Chain A
Amino acid sequence: MKHTLSVLVKNRPGVLARVSGLFSRRGYNIDSLSVGLTHNPDISRMTIVVAGDDHVVEQVVKQLNKLIDVIKILDIREDESVNRELALIKVEVDSGTRSEIMQIAAIFRARIVDVGARTLVIEVTGDSHKIDAMEQLLKRFGIKEMVRAGKVSILRGTKGIE
């Protein structure tokens, strides 16, 4: 079972090491992690995807809560939230494949953000299934490079973490 944790932390040096260090020390695996400032520059928000049964995740949350720089943690459920990932995919192209690749990008509402002589860079946003599907489709053209950003999540409606 995958859980998505939204963690509000003090924006202090070393806070990322404290949080990620806790995962490795207690033997929990991080699937993905993203960090950035919130609208309050003193506070950062991390979105951490962790695999584990409910007992494991409950332990993770309790241990995280003990860190002095951690302000609040939310275990975000998929159906109550908006979730996004972003990937940049560099595919090989030639005159024979260019238009097909561009069509695929259009269907996925992905954007071509760089055009080279033999490559295209495609930016795709969505949930992880969408990005997986896109990757699958582009494979046969030859993916030269790919980079995925960690998932970010926010609760729908008025519910939230403030």
Chain B
Amino acid sequence: MIKKPKMTGAEAVIECLYKENIEVIFGYPGGAVLPLYDELYDSNIKHILVRHEQCAAHAADGYARATGRTGVCIATSGPGATNLVTGIANAYMDSVPLVAFTGQVPTSMIGNDAFQEVNITGITLPITKHNYLVKDARTLPMTLKEAFHIASTGRPGPVLIDLPKDIQTEKIGFEYPQKVKLDSYRPTYGGHPLQIKRAAESIMRAEQPIIYAGGGVVISGAHNELRTLTELILAPVVTTLMGKGTFPETHPLSLGMLGMHGAKYANYAMTESDLIIAIGARFDDRVTGKVGSFAPNAKVIHIDIDPAEISKNIEVSIPIVGDAKAILKELIKVLRQKRESKWNEKIKAWKKEFPLQYGRSDKEIKPQYVIEQICKLYGDAIITTEVGQNQMWAAQYFKSTEPRRFISSGGLGTMGYGFPAAIGAKVGCPDKLVFDIAGDGSFQMTSQELATAISNDIPVKVAILNNGFLGMVRQWQELFYDKRYSATRLDANPDFVKLAEAYGTLGIEVTRPGRVKSAIEEAVNSDKPVVIDFKVAPEENVFPMVPAGAAINEIIG
């Protein structure tokens, strides 16, 4: 018998990370993770020190979304662990594969309200796919094996492993398991052949079909199959925010994003469709608007790996549970080429009559114009966004053509996500240009990560659409609260150029539309992280929009 090598729990964790091919982790140290950090010190794993633990989770999340691999973050016990919470919740809502490690007080002290003790497995119960408190060091290899397996398979999500300090120092015999033994966790991948056949029949019969693609298409890597399907049946494609880039938005059959700030034609097409082919999308309330009036004449085919999403919000007539790519492959085989129909004509007419547009100006910088310019100049960049108007304008005006190139906090809507996510994306894709399209409010939630970007030489570009407001909230106040701008004026914004300079990097202020293009180029040509402060029209609104509680075809603006 081969003797298992003896090592400490901390060494075992690092060894497991090697086995999982983890090259980089984002983290922040503290007392309860000292043994682990000591092992990291001379390991081959790159550790990126963030300036706030929330950003360790967001950076790992951005890394995961950009690369398709599992992101890893680490924090100490107590406040370190609670600082991760927003980042974990964000990853949970958007189904991002993430493994988070937290330090914990020694097992003998758990439950005593020891210094920096929090029950982080309890706190994260509803926002993790699964979590572990390791109480026996010998279970570490299997725990890590399971954690990475659970995080990245089925519907992905964050998994947290809480590591008491004594577990990190205890000696164990190490052996990394080949396989997990999880008889209670077996995601379905292949779709049911009969359901696929029924779906194909419905598609061939449908006169006004529409394809509705979400983040599941990105996760599954089903974008090529999606394109084949679309060109076979000539149905228009709408995507969710998470689904941006799964189908090229430059394609004539693309209707872009639907929902609250979707294009009018996207919402009209959805409403009048007679068959919705939903793929890896979950009929979120931002998409459906008033549920009772959502696509009243449509039958629904729903392809999703998570059976709990079927008929959760909208009644589904043909559910197909499984992996989108595998299912689309089968579906394509049994479909025949359809011809252009009246439906296609109708949609072309809508597109012409109700285009996505804004009032252009040569005096003020329109935020939409900034995004159009970034898209025109650097259309193959990875875009991350903050939350608010900046996010919706980015979704509307940046025409995504590839998956994993538009990264945004969808389910949780976390201000401050975009910048650390950009850092993570750039670490994962160093050859790609990465832009964070930011708001002045959001950027101030995580701007301290400029230090992370600079010290680790991660040259991401931040384009602040600086309107001096918490713009999206102000917009609602303007439209629905009589212009009573309660707590939405950002009247003490810092000088963002000086802020960038204070961290030792480049800041560019832009006040005229004529300077927009050259400023973007200047930022890209710099090999440093750059902050561009676009002073945009302060009270510009995001249109079109579906007011709260309205049907999506009751879209205004």
The answer to whether A68 and B150 touch across the interface, beta carbons within 8 angstroms, is: yes
User: Which chain B residue shows the least CB distance to A10?
Assistant: B184
Q: Which of B121, B184, B310 contacts A68 (CB 8 A)?
A: B184
Chain B residues positioned under 8 Å from A25 (CB to CB): 126
Interface of A is mostly: helix
Bound Cα distance A145, B308 (Å): 42
User: Which chain A residue shows the least CB distance to B135?
Assistant: A13
Q: Which of B125, B130, B308 contacts A59 (CB 8 A)?
A: B308
The answer to whether B306 and A66 touch across the interface, beta carbons within 8 angstroms, is: yes
Q: Which of chain A's residues 22-74 have a Cβ closer than 8 Å to chain B?
A: 22, 25, 55, 58-59, 62-63, 65-72
Q: Does B432 contact A (CB under 8 A)?
A: no
Bound Cα distance A117, B176 (Å): 65
Interface residue count on the B side (C-beta < 8 Å): 19
Chain A residues positioned under 8 Å from B185 (CB to CB): 68
Bound Cα distance A65, B310 (Å): 14
Interface residue count on the A side (C-beta < 8 Å): 21
Bound Cα distance A10, B311 (Å): 28
Chain A residues positioned under 8 Å from B42 (CB to CB): none
Bound Cα distance A26, B185 (Å): 21
Bound Cα distance A18, B306 (Å): 19
Q: Which of B121, B126, B308, B312 contacts A14 (CB 8 A)?
A: B121
Known A-B contacts A18-B125, A21-B125, A25-B126; A71 and B183 likewise in contact (beta carbons under 8 Å): yes
Bound Cα distance A21, B124 (Å): 11
Chain B residues positioned under 8 Å from A17 (CB to CB): 122, 125
User: Which chain A residue shows the least CB distance to B312?
Assistant: A59
User: Which chain A residue shows the least CB distance to B187?
Assistant: A66
Q: Does B2 contact A (CB under 8 A)?
A: no
Q: Does B307 contact A (CB under 8 A)?
A: yes
Known A-B contacts A21-B125, A25-B126; A62 and B184 likewise in contact (beta carbons under 8 Å): no
User: Which chain A residue shows the least CB distance to B183?
Assistant: A71
Q: Does B194 contact A (CB under 8 A)?
A: no
Q: Does B1 contact A (CB under 8 A)?
A: no
Q: Which of chain B's residues 113-142 have a Cβ closer than 8 Å to chain A?
A: 121-122, 125-126, 129-130, 133, 135
Q: Which of A14, A62, A66 contacts B133 (CB 8 A)?
A: A14
The answer to whether A68 and B125 touch across the interface, beta carbons within 8 angstroms, is: no
Chain B residues positioned under 8 Å from A68 (CB to CB): 129-130, 150, 182, 184-185
Known A-B contacts A14-B133, A71-B184; A66 and B308 likewise in contact (beta carbons under 8 Å): yes
B170-184 vs A, CB cutoff 8 Å, 1 = contact: the mask equals 000000000000111
* A–B Cβ pairs within 8 angstroms, 26 of them: A10-B184, A13-B135, A14-B121, A14-B125, A14-B133, A17-B122, A18-B125, A21-B125, A21-B126, A22-B126, A55-B311, A58-B311, A59-B308, A62-B307, A62-B308, A65-B307, A66-B306, A67-B130, A68-B130, A68-B184, A68-B185, A69-B184, A70-B184, A71-B183, A71-B184, A72-B184
- Given pairs A21-B125, A71-B184, 11 additional interface contacts (CB within 8 A): A10-B184, A13-B133, A17-B122, A21-B126, A55-B311, A62-B307, A63-B308, A65-B308, A68-B129, A68-B130, A68-B185
Please give me the 3 A-B residue pairs with the lowest Cβ-Cβ distance, nearest first.
Answer: A62-B308, A71-B184, A68-B130
